[in-house]
Structure 1
Amino acid sequence: MFLLLVGVSTGALAASAEAAGPVDLKRENFQKEIDGKQVDLYTLTNAKGMVVKITNYGAKVEQILVPDRNGTLGDVALGYDGIDQVLTGQPSMGSFIGRYANRIGGGKFAIDGQPYQASLNDGPNSLHGGKKGSRFVVFDAKQIDPQTVEMTYTYKDGEEGYPGTVPSRVVYKVTDDNALDIAFDATTDKPTIVNFTSHVFFNLAGEGNGSILGHQLQVNAKSFTPVDSTLITTGEIRPVKDTPLDFTSPQAVGARITSSYDQLGFVKGYDHNFVIDKKPGEYGLMARVVEPVSGRVLEVYGTQPGIQFYSGNFLAGAVPKDQGKGGHLYGLQEAFCLEPQVFPDAPNKANFPSPVLRPGETYSGKIVFKFLTQN
């Protein structure tokens, strides 16, 4: 593979990938038994030709086919050719994240004065549910109809250090207006913390088609939650005005990404939580992304108070981790993620929205990725 890439420009690679068309993911390449449970690939379609393919290993979205302004279908989600590649790939790519999305400082938190220690898997911190969060488990899956699949997983009491037995459900639905609707809920038998999100890696030019720095991003947020050098929120809620995190109007992702602003230096790009301008629990528009060349547009809606914008800073074109569909090597900032969520480290920040779930309550939410085009 490396020999074939020598002397080939990024533009030529992108043109070649686009001309070749989307990779045809084969169901049989995702069929395998893991931890005594059967893994499979589920295909969702609508009458307009939108296609979404999801594996129940990590409830990962592996492919999203949507049209460009000319009506040509392209694959806007990074992913892998089969389950063996998924197992050696980027663990968050496409995953449904639980029991607690994003980071918890030191993995420590307390509920009603009772201390807990979650497993550490991101330096000194716990990330995306720990060493074996939902990214690494097999969900039970049932296809409801051609447009809908339901996936369930029960987190065990003490799993990864979290209290409570937590039955959870996520329902993926491809709607008739070219949206991927993700609805989820959970309950518990003892006080715990819950924060779910979707971690699809997007490139609206098409996966394998190069940098996302020309994508234009707008976020419905006048403030964000700064982080320290270990990427844990400080507790401050800071205005985005006069910072490189001001996306209150559309801005190219790459326009300020190399700024000397300390927040960008911590991760060599964006990996920050934005405080969405809406009432807690209210469903609404959170972010909008435009890819000018293809004309594809992504609108992100949700019920959560925050959204994490990640600019693909840890993609490195490394084999096997970053070798995706059709052998495409996913390099630095060749994807972005928009992850609706409760704020990072919220269990340890009294001024942040609470992620605590108690017996008798139901945690529920919705994330919608809606695809449009513009001229």
Structure 2
Amino acid sequence: MSINTEFKTETYLLKNANGLKLHLINYGGRITNLEVPDRNGNFENVVLHLNTKDYLKSNPFIGALIGRYANRIANACFKLNGQSFRINNNEGTNCLHGGIGGFDAVFWTVKKLSDTKVLLTYDSPHLEMGFPGNLKVKVYYELTNANELKIDYYAVSDQETVINLTQHSYFNLTADFNKKITDHEVFINADAFLPTSGNIPTGEIRPVKDGVFDFRIPKRIGLAIDVNDDQLNTAGGYDHCFVLNRDHSDLTLAATAYDEGSGRFLEVFTTEPGMQFYTGNSLDGSLKIPNEPGNYEKRSGFCFETQHFPDSPNQPAFPSVVIKAGEEFSSTTVYQFSVKAREDK
């Protein structure tokens, strides 16, 4: 993939009244640093990051905005109003995260609105990566004084199309990227998940009850990640979309993560129907941790990717990802950070 040298990578800083800091770059709208306190008030970065030049090389979507279609579309094709669209395949025969040259690999226009908020915009032309419609996208990143990272997504197309947007930050609440995330305690507000075959949902909505995908009571990521389960074996860990339990509010609690050592506690709220829980299974030690020894090994970080379901354009039983011409797509996800006191043993 060639990078458009007409643009250069620029960095932007957000900071709230409590000292939280977020760095992002215009390439891929990537979050490159997110500093939050531990229970002792020490601020450290909790997202995987790269040296700036390494974002321009092949990497597993670290910190990126994802589109036009987050997650996978089977056989890199779909039909819309009887017309077939062949899109870019970049994971075998499937399209993953929009394909090569998706939103993670374009230069966004960034406008800093205040010390705590930026607006990112990108105009995706008709048939870019094979998707129909001239699509205008707006994304707001905001650090609130409630220690939230709030992400608002908007898009509008001049013709009917499909859309599924997310943010692909990898979290490690220990802030030590040489440590695996298997001791993080995770809760996922979902009674069901989508089993896959060849990384594509089979169409089944499978109850999580009492199985290795049951995170309705918080448990360590590592508790069952290596058990002999066909879904975990195929993915090398968790890389599945959970069907979130929705309430009647716009924003619903999707998941939490807790690191006992640091006390950091992350809560995720979203308007989306699903969340991909990914445990960094493809991290293979080939990417250097900036400014410290070590490389990112398998399970150095986890992702909470709020989204619609994978392969929805080909699975009519799933919630629709179609937007009409002129219809505005909107979505909100909030990542809120706090700390917990250490529990006495």
Residue 234 (structure 2) aligns with = 266
Per the normalisation by structure 1, the TM-score is 0.88
Deviation at 1:207, TM superposition (A): 4.4
Give the AA of the match of 2:42. Answer: T
Count, aligned residues: 338
Tell me the equivalent position of 1:301: 269
CA distance in 2, matches of 1:325, 1:267: 27
Alignment of 1:205-244 (within 5 A): 205-228=174-197, 230-244=198-212
1:124 Cα deviation after fit: 1.3
Structure 1 letter corresponding to 2:326: G
Does the CA-based 8 Å contact 1:280-1:305 persist in structure 2?
no
**Partner residue, 1:58:** 28
Q: Shift in Å at residue 85 of structure 1?
A: 1.8
Residues 1:40 and 2:10 are matched in the alignment: yes
Task: Output one character per residue of 1:66-112: Cα deviation in whole Å (capped at 9) or x when no partner.
Answer: 00001011110000132x12112524100010100000000111111
Alignment partner of 2:131 out of 149, 154, 162: 162
Residue 325 (1) aligns with residue 290 (2)? yes
Partner in structure 2 of residue 335 of structure 1 = 301
SS in 1 for 2:331: strand
Distance 2:58 2:127 in 1: 27
Residue number in structure 2 paired with 1:119: 88
Match of 1:24 in 2: none
Three-state SS of the structure 2 residue aligned to 1:313 is coil
From 173, 189, 195, give the equivalent of 2:158.
189
Aligned to 1:104: 73
Q: C-alpha offsets along residues 104-127 of structure 1, whole Å, 9 cap, x if unaligned? A: 000111111111111100011000
RMSD of the TM alignment (CA)? Answer: 1.3
Displacement of 1:267 in angstroms is: 1.1
The C-alpha deviation readout for 1:121-169, integer Å capped at 9, x for no partner, is 0011000001110011000111111111111001110100100000001
Amino acid at match of 2:260: P
1:370 and 1:109 mapped to 2: Cα distance?
A: 36
- The correspondence of residues 125-204 of structure 1 with structure 2, limited to 5 A, is 125-204=94-173
Q: CA deviation at 1:281?
A: 8.5
Mapped partners of 1:357, 1:172: distance in 2: 23
Q: Is the 8 A contact 2:36 2:46 kept in 1?
A: yes
**Amino acid across the alignment from 2:214:** D
Report how far residue 280 of structure 1 moved. 8.6
Letter in 2 for 1:47: A
Deviations 1:193-227 (A, max 9, x none): 00000000100000424110000000000000110
Measure how far apart 1:268 and its partner are: 1.2
Instruction: Show the counterpart of 1:80.
Output: 50
Q: What amino acid sits opposite 1:204 in the alignment?
A: L
Contact 2:36 2:45 (C-alpha < 8 Å) held by counterparts: yes
Deviates more, 1:59-68 or 1:273-282: 273-282
Query: What is residue 216 of structure 2 aligned with on the other side?
Result: 248
Equivalent residue letter for 1:348: N
TM-score, structure 2 as length reference = 0.95
Checking the alignment, whether the CA contact within 8 Å between 2:178 and 2:295 is kept in structure 1 is no
| Structure-2 separation of matches of 1:218 and 1:38 | 40
1:7 matched residue in structure 2: none
SS, match of residue 326 in structure 1: coil
Structure 2 residue corresponding to 1:350, chosen from 301, 316, 319: 316
- For structure 1, the 5+ residue unaligned runs are 1-32
Matched, 1:366 2:342: no
Cα distance, 1:177 vs structure 2: 1.1
Contact 1:165 1:188 (8 Å CA) reproduced: yes
- Are the aligned partners of 2:186 and 2:258 in contact in 1 as well (CA < 8 Å)? yes
Distance (whole Å) between structure 2 residues aligned to residue 69 and residue 53 of structure 1: 22
Q: Runs of 5+ in structure 2 lacking a partner?
A: none
In structure 2, what is the Cα distance between the partners aligned to 1:62 and 1:340?
19
Secondary structure of 2:84's aligned partner: strand
Is 1:310 matched up with 2:278? yes
The residue type paired with residue 6 of structure 2 is G
CA distance in 2, matches of 1:89, 1:133: 12
SS at structure 2 position matched to 1:53: strand
